[in-house]
Amino acid sequence: VHLEEQPKEIEDCLDAHGMTPMALLLSSVESQDHLSRVCGVHCTHTEAADLERFLAAGGNVCVCPLTEAALGDGVFKSMDRTRGRVSLGTDCNARIDMFEEMRWLEYSQRLARGRRGVVSAGDLAAKLFECATIHGATALGLEGEVGTIEPGVWADFAAIDLSAASLRDIDDENLLGAAIFGGASEGLVLDTCVAGKWTDGRLGV
């Protein structure tokens, strides 16, 4: 569900229903079980209290920082309330690049707060990568089936060019951070594997 992406959407919903789109959703869905299968896309202007109710009821949030920036929609303002449990998507054709979405998620939060390292304490790159993988699987209702590389999980992954300029001379410990904060898909991704099959075929299994 595209939800509270722009202020005008909220204004129109208040005029028509006397409540915000998120409040309308919360009052309309029958049970918590149903909300666990709902993902609010954007939630850029969702009030913190409403977002907490949505998450507590099992709802998921997907933000598209590159899209929201390109359209001038604003910055997702409740990152702290989600405890970093958001997934990442893309919602326009200006540019489709998950490395950039991860980077913009962190950078937009820095701009909004005037400080660095906002998304989570600890390994920042790993937390951003979880938003693009593990939390994405949860938002799609596929938790435990995709989003990680381990036995019994779908073989979905990307082959990264370790000789790319942005990764040159980077040690293993800093590789993920270098890819997220200095790379782009077209310079890093050699091929992607979906359900065990390489999409390009050059690295075919």
Among residues of the chain, what percentage have pLDDT more than 70?
A: 95
Mean pLDDT computed over every residue of the chain: 89
Q: Following DSSP, what letter does each residue of the chain receive, concatenated?
A: -EES-SHHHHHHHHHHHSS-HHHHHHHH---HHHHTT-EEEE-TT--HHHHHHHHHTT-EEEE-HHHHHHTT------HHHHTT--EE---SSS---HHHHHHHHHHHHHHHHTSS--S-SS-HHHHHHHHHTHHHHHHTT-BTTBSS-STTS---EEEE-TTSGGGTT--GGGHHHHHHHH--HHHHEEEEEETTEESSSTT--
31 pLDDT tier (thresholds 50, 70, 90): low
Checking if the pLDDT of 200 tops 90, the result is: no
For the segment 130-164, what is each residue's pLDDT rounded down to a tens digit?
Answer: 999 999 999 998 988 999 999 999 999 999 999 99
For the segment 43-87, what is each residue's pLDDT rounded down to a tens digit?
Answer: 999 998 899 989 988 899 999 999 899 989 999 988 877 877 899
